[in-house]
Chain A
């Protein structure tokens, strides 16, 4: 994992560049995560074909783990998301890669689009962009 945080220890805007790989992690949607999901949405899960919204939470967890500590006040402003068909399965190994797609300034604000890709067994399950207004 590339780590070029500044002296403050925070990921500030200057530390990011287009195409930068922030991290790749292995991840499992385990019993604990499935139980949390069922508690939130009051729905049952089929362990062989979990709800694909669990990929959304996996994407966010992976992003939050690699891009921290973050300055307070960041805003998650937008999101693109492609779900490519197959559902994740309980406890299967997911590979989640998080990178910087691009950064840009607009109307005095600093924007960063983080890209997330989730694969399992060579199959892409999710790809998306987390569009963030960076606080500093």
Chain B
């Protein structure tokens, strides 16, 4: 994985215009590791023979692999700040593509349009990021 953007572009206290992008070259080996990490061994992610008979024709990455990459983009930009995401998995990403996660500021305060896209290709995850106002670990007692 690598960073796509110079973090100094977001230096200072102003709301960053964009997230620090993160990039991942997906591969069968990486997918196998992610399957082991999540205990999700669905053959649609792992087995080319099985996948040939699916609408996709080839193995596809786990959707949450892209979500994890997006989470890292948010952490790279805002550190340990609390946040909420609301995303849709809009299309599958074949194993072997390069995924790029990032986002752009929306007019609303502390809100971003976020996405994960195939490099030079379509978005596979789209959604909205809302930052919390301050770093404050949530305590169970907060809602009692």
Contacts and interface: CB of A to CB of B under 8 A. Distances in A.
Contacts of A53: 67-69, 71-72, 75
Contacts of B67: 53, 56, 79, 81
Identify which of B34, B135, B138 gathers the most chain A CB atoms within 10 Å of its CB: B138
Interface in A22-79: 33, 36-37, 39-43, 49, 51-53, 56-57, 60-61, 64-65, 76-79
B138 A84 contact: yes
B137 to A, nearest CB: 4
Given A56-B71, A84-B138, A85-B138, A40 B33 contact: yes
Interface stretch (A2-10, A12-20, A99-107, A118-126): A118-126
Interface residues of A, number: 35
A64 B82 CA distance: 26
A51 to B, nearest CB: 6
Given A56-B71, A60-B38, A80 B140 contact: no
Contacts of A65: 39
Interface residues of B, number: 37
B37 interface: yes
B52 interface: no
Interface in B111-144: 132, 135-140
Identify which of A33, A86, A119 gathers the most chain B CB atoms within 10 Å of its CB: A86
Nearest to B140: A122
Interface in B24-41: 24, 30, 33-34, 36-40
Given A84-B82, A85-B132, 19 more contacts: A40-B65, A51-B75, A53-B71, A56-B67, A56-B68, A57-B34, A60-B64, A61-B40, A76-B63, A78-B87, A80-B86, A82-B82, A82-B138, A83-B84, A84-B137, A85-B80, A85-B135, A85-B137, A124-B138
The 4 closest A-B CB pairs, nearest first, are: A84-B138, A53-B68, A85-B137, A53-B71
16 contacts: A36-B36, A36-B37, A49-B80, A51-B72, A53-B67, A53-B72, A56-B64, A57-B68, A64-B39, A78-B88, A85-B132, A85-B137, A87-B80, A123-B137, A123-B138, A124-B140
